[in-house]
Structure 1
Amino acid sequence: MAKLSFIAGFGAGYVLGARAGRERYEQIRRAWEHAKDDPRLQSIAGMAQARADDAVSSLKSKMGSDSPH
């Protein structure tokens, strides 16, 4: 009986959440579509990618120089 109550509660919560969630999802999606074309965001993403590339390169060189092979 407890399992049936849980499933019924989960189903009701899912349906209600899905209705409210769709509107929020669309709001987030529109914000992302607007933001991804923003030159400031693209600049920040480019700088983050360059730093990540530098960190990986540095790590690879350290691993290569410390390797006992």
Structure 2
Amino acid sequence: MRYKVTFVSGVALGYVLGSRAGRERYEQMKKCVRGVAQNPAVRNAAETAGQQGRHFAGRAFTVVGDRVGDVLPASVTDRVRVLRGRANGAVGHDDDWGTSNT
């Protein structure tokens, strides 16, 4: 699915950049894309996909951490524990890189 979306996006971009259809056609396509992006069904599908992606990434993070936790140096293991603690409900705290979850 990702490849189809990328392909369609590339075709649309190529058409817009290479087209001699003029400003009218560009505005028409822009309006159509905006309408699709603001469609509640599309927005719900995107939100659901994002939530599922975060869920599966969290599960993969846990599985990988459990399997390689004994092999990693103590400093990395400690960092993973800190990140897990933040992921389990400590929202709004700044991390070591100067960014926050707020």
TM-score band, normalised by shorter chain: 0.5 to 0.7
Shift of 1:21: 8.0
The alpha carbon displacement at 1:55 in A equals 1.3
Q: Distance in 2 between matches of 1:23 and 1:59?
A: 47
Q: Which of the pair is proportionally richer in helix?
A: 1
TM-score after normalising by structure 2: 0.43
Cα offsets for 1:5-64 (capped at 9, x unmatched): xxxxxxxxxxxx431486665443222100111111111011000111011111111110
Q: CA RMSD in A?
A: 2.1
- Asked if 1:30 is matched to 2:31, the reply is yes
Segments of structure 1 that go 5 or more residues without pairing to the other structure are 1-16
Determine the C-alpha separation between the residues in 2 that align with 1:49 and 1:31. 23
* CA 1:19–1:54: 2 relative to 1, 3 Å: same
Q: Percent identity?
A: 26
Could you list the structure 1 runs, at least 4 aligned residues long, displaced by more than 3 angstroms after superposition. Answer: 20-28
How many aligned residue pairs are there? 53
Q: Distance in 2 between matches of 1:46 and 1:34?
A: 17
SS in structure 2 at match of 1:19:
coil
Which of 1 and 2 has greater Rg? 1
* Whole-angstrom distance in 2 between the partners of 1:21 and 1:58: 49
Which residue of structure 2 aligns with residue 12 of structure 1? none
Higher mean displacement: 23-32 or 35-44:
23-32
